[in-house]
């Protein structure tokens, strides 16, 4: 992308950077003279679908660097919805300010972020083009000691929807010490052959959403209260790959660096006190979904690598989901300025995923389950009486119905009046149930129907009577009650009326003398367990 990089954007460089940077020495905050240019444009070329969140992404990046990176509002430039000439003028003006700081002997840094349409050669800005190489060259030639370019755009790795200027509130500065690292780093949201995606659920792009969440503390892998450049990239990379894996195509962010000096660049410091912000302490490593408590807008999706990780958020009301293997825990909380709230100390509402799916919520479209039942069916053939039954089942909870495939087996022995000897009746049945569940606080009530195809064998102890086989069809209604015992294990009780159509015969002297179809009405009841996965 740039002559000064001297290398291509490639994943091996990522691994090298992430391994080497932490070993080079202390981490250094961005210098006091840091400029941020956040560019966002929802409109690309005339034939490209309009984006919804590119300009909002630019605002988020600007906000997090102001709130947690210590960049003052008069050094943050938002360029929203502007065409290429206007963007170039803004960059030139900032470049001149950076040069003035350099001449005055003050350490400086420049961060340029872009979200919008692009191809491998240029950014697409409302019908105009800004060459990628020209953008990176402009940043590289700026006289800031530390320069960072972040591109959230399609095929920007050569640099879903497949994928103007205002000041922000002032923020006081309190830097540890000037950065001892100099050079240029470029981060892109995808490779040169991939699209970058934005999500209606996230209300932003995958990459920027996870980058911002990382800068708020989710990327703080060592728990020192600071998020370095390498930590932020590492978090955004893995979370973007994970999230895009749910779509039709993967998205792989890339990272290239040409820096010298000792230490790592600290982009944000979520572990320190910040006005208007509070800290949320998470529990065990798991997926946490944080939504605005007023409008349910998704604020952050966090997947920390360590227990007790923290994330810094604006003061306000939040709803948090803690996603566990079999259930999620829901928390309602208010986060005050300067306050630290520990989720583990708050009361939680537990909701199982099968219930969540049936309500039409969450990310899962279905929940799998297996079960085993022991039951009794009413008399099917004269003289047999009620018959013990065993059932194995596999079910799928969906939003509207729970279809379940069932395998039934039974065996009984009675004295056959026609032959005067014992008769053994073996049954196998393959059935399907369709149920609709009503989830109450203490249990779940299911109502539905059952259909089954059965195979029957009669084996006679009398030597002169041959074994006989027959087929049957059963239909009925089913009512079930389930109560959770532990984890994914539930106790299940079910019962209902059945009607079975089967071929019957009358035997005289060991020979069948009369055959026909008969319909038998009886009932079914069973108790067992179901384990939802």
List pLDDT tens digits, range 212-226: 999 999 999 888 999
Which whole-number Å values give the CA distances from 69 to 84, 185, 188, 206, in the listed order? Answer: 28, 17, 20, 22
Is 96 in the same domain as 179? yes
Is 180 in the same domain as 195? yes
The domain of 326 spans 273-347
Is 406 in the same domain as 515? yes
Confirm whether 5 is domain-assigned: no
CATH of the domain at 426: 2.40.160.20
Is 439 in the same domain as 505? yes
- What pLDDT was estimated at residue 192? 61
- CA proximity to 254, closest of 227, 231, 228, 236: 236
Is 280 in the same domain as 257? no
**Do β-strands 108-115 and 117-118 pair in parallel, antiparallel, or remain unpaired?**
unpaired
Q: Using pLDDT thresholds of 50, 70 and 90, give the confidence band for residue 163.
A: low
Is 343 in the same domain as 410? no
Higher pLDDT, 368 or 245: 368
DSSP state string for 384-399: T-SEEEEEEEEEEE-S
Phi, psi of 305 (to 5 degrees): -85, -10
Q: Considering only 64-73, 232-241, 359-368, 435-444, which range has the smallest mean pLDDT?
A: 359-368
Is 384 in the same domain as 482? yes
Kindly report the length of the chain.
533
Is 378 in the same domain as 331? no
Confirm whether 29 is domain-assigned: yes
Confirm whether 88 is domain-assigned: yes
Examine the pLDDT at 73 and tell me if it is beyond 60. yes
Query: What mean pLDDT is predicted for residues 414-421?
Result: 75
Confirm whether 4 is domain-assigned: no
- What pLDDT was estimated at residue 10? 40
Is 186 in the same domain as 319? no
Confirm whether 484 is domain-assigned: yes
Q: Do the beta carbons of residue 254 and residue 10 sit within 8 Å?
A: yes
Is 152 in the same domain as 86? yes
Confirm whether 518 is domain-assigned: yes
List pLDDT tens digits, range 15-61: 434 434 443 445 567 788 999 999 999 999 998 888 889 999 999 99
CATH of the domain at 209: 3.40.50.1460
Bridge partners for 408 per DSSP: 391, 429
Domain end point (choices 251, 268, 285): 268
List pLDDT tens digits, range 171-219: 222 322 334 457 888 888 877 666 666 667 777 788 899 999 999 999 9
Confirm whether 117 is domain-assigned: yes
CATH of the domain at 327: 2.60.40
Bridge partners for 522 per DSSP: 498
Domain end point (choices 235, 268, 301): 268
Confirm whether 357 is domain-assigned: no
Q: What is the mean pLDDT of the chain?
A: 83
* Spatial separation of the C-alpha atoms in residues 114 and 134, rounded to whole Å: 14
Write the burial class of residue 434 (CB in 10 Å: 0-12 exposed, 13-18 middle, 19+ buried).
middle
Examine the pLDDT at 246 and tell me if it is beyond 70. no
* Spatial separation of the C-alpha atoms in residues 332 and 340, rounded to whole Å: 15
Is 295 in the same domain as 236? no
List pLDDT tens digits, range 499-511: 999 887 665 555 5
Is 245 in the same domain as 113? yes
Domain count, the chain: 3
Domain end point (choices 230, 247, 268): 268
Q: Do the beta carbons of residue 470 and residue 448 sit within 8 Å?
A: no
């Amino acid at each position: 992308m740039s002559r000064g990089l001297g290398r291509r954007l490639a994943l091996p460089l990522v691994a090298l950077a992430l391994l080497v940077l932490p070993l080079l020495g202390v981490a250094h905050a961005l210098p006091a003279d840091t400029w941020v240019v956040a560019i966002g444009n929802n409109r690309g070329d005339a034939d490209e679908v309009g984006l919804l969140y590119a300009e909002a992404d630019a605002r988020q990046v600007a906000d997090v660097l102001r709130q947690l990176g210590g960049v003052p509002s008069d050094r943050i430039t938002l360029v929203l919805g502007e065409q290429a000439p206007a963007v170039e003028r803004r960059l030139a003006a900032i470049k001149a300010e950076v040069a003035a700081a350099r001449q005055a002997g003050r350490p400086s840094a420049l961060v340029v972020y872009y979200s919008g349409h692009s191809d491998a050669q240029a950014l697409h800005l409302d019908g105009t083009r800004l060459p990628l190489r020209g953008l990176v060259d402009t940043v590289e030639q700026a006289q800031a000691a530390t320069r960072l370019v972040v591109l959230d755009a399609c095929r920007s790795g050569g640099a879903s929807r497949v994928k103007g200027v205002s000041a922000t509130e002032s923020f006081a500065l309190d830097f540890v010490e000037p950065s001892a690292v100099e050079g240029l780093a470029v981060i892109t949201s995808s490779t040169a052959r991939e699209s970058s995606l934005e999500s209606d659920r996230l209300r932003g792009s995958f990459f920027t959403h996870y980058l911002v969440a990382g800068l708020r503390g989710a990327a703080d892998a060592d728990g020192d209260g600071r998020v370095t450049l390498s930590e932020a990239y590492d978090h955004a990379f893995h979370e973007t790959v994970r999230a895009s894996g749910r779509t039709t195509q993967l998205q792989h962010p890339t990272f290239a660096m040409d820096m010298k000096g000792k230490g790592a660049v600290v982009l944000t410091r979520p572990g320190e006190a910040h006005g208007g912000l509070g800290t949320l302490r998470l529990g065990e490593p798991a997926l946490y979904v944080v939504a605005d408590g007023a409008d349910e807008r998704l604020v952050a999706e966090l997947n920390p690598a360590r227990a007790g990780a923290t994330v810094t958020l604006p003061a306000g009301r939040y709803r948090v989901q803690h996603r566990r293997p079999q259930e999620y825990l829901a928390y309602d909380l208010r986060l005050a300025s300067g306050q630290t709230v520990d989720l583990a100390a708050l009361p939680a509402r537990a909701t199982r995923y099968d219930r969540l799916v049936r309500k039409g919520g969450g990310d899962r479209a279905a929940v799998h389950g297996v079960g085993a039942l022991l039951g009794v069916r009413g008399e099917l053939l004269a003289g047999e009486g009620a018959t013990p039954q065993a059932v194995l089942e596999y079910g799928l909870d969906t939003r509207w119905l729970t279809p379940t495939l069932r395998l039934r087996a039974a065996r009984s022995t009675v004295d056959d009046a026609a032959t005067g000897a014992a008769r053994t009746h073996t049954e196998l049945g393959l059935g399907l149930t369709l149920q609709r569940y009503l989830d109450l606080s203490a249990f779940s009530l299911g109502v539905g129907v059952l259909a089954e195809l059965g195979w029957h064998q009669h084996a006679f102890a009398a030597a002169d009577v041959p074994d006989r086989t027959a087929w049957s069809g059963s239909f009925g209604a089913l009512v079930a009650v389930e109560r959770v015992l532990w984890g994914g294990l539930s106790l299940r009780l079910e019962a209902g009326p059945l009607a079975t159509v089967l071929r019957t015969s009358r035997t005289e002297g060991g020979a069948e003398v009369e055959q026909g179809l008969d319909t038998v009405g009886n009932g079914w009841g069973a108790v067992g367990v179901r384990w939802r996965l």
